[in-house]
Amino acid sequence: MLEKKCSNNRSTRRYLRVLLVFVASCFVVAGAGFLFRDTPFVRDLKKRFMMGSPTHAKLPNKQHFYQHAAVAADNAECSKVGRNILKKGGSAVDAAIAAILCVGVINMHSTGIGGGGFMMVYDSHKRSAEMIDFRETASEHSGVDLFKGDPLNGIRGGLAVGVPGELRGLEAAWKKYGKLPWKELFKPAIHIAKKGFIIPQTVDIAIKIWKDLLMTDKTFR
């Protein structure tokens, strides 16, 4: 969600000075790495399962200048969450964390606190970047034969889940770059989860793809 358009170069320079920390990326994936041998069938399922938010219409290429900041998540509601955190005096990392937690609620098929991720934080004053790696890891007892027998176990079910790293990673970023209280960053996602939300198109597609599994696997009941 973007706001406060400013058309002059002076405001653009001011924006570049005010924005101290730029979060380049923080992509969180719920699921372990694929350790089994691919087949065309499995590759097709992986492609469909790990899809992002598909856009069928061609989007206009519009550029804007913003006086203070811009927040963009893969769901409009979560972009608003990040924007509101900035309005409360939060840092760019605070906004990113709140937006990520929101996406974990709304786009639950592709991200969430049960997975891991990575974040790059750029400090424009120091002209330096820091990478925080909190990708999930394989369990201690996993091995090369973990998915033997049914390669689909690597993308569905309990065996596909790694040891989560998201919350620890986000906490590490917050301790170093955060401004608002830790619990404040969770409130928007908790509110959305309680009040409910409209299922986005990408989640609708994922539900249809995995309909048979969702209807037959007792763990989803």
Binding residues: 135
Query: Residue 118: phi, psi to the nearest 5?
Result: -150, 150
Annotated binding site for L-glutamate: 135
Residues making up the chain, counted from first to last: 221
Is 221 strand, coil or helix? coil
Query: Residue 85: which residues within 8 A CB-CB, separation 6 or more?
Result: 94, 95, 98, 99, 180, 184, 185, 188
Provide CB contacts within 8 A for 185, sequence distance 6+. 85, 90, 94, 97, 98, 101, 174, 178
DSSP class of residue 99 equals H
Pairing of strands 128-134, 117-123: antiparallel
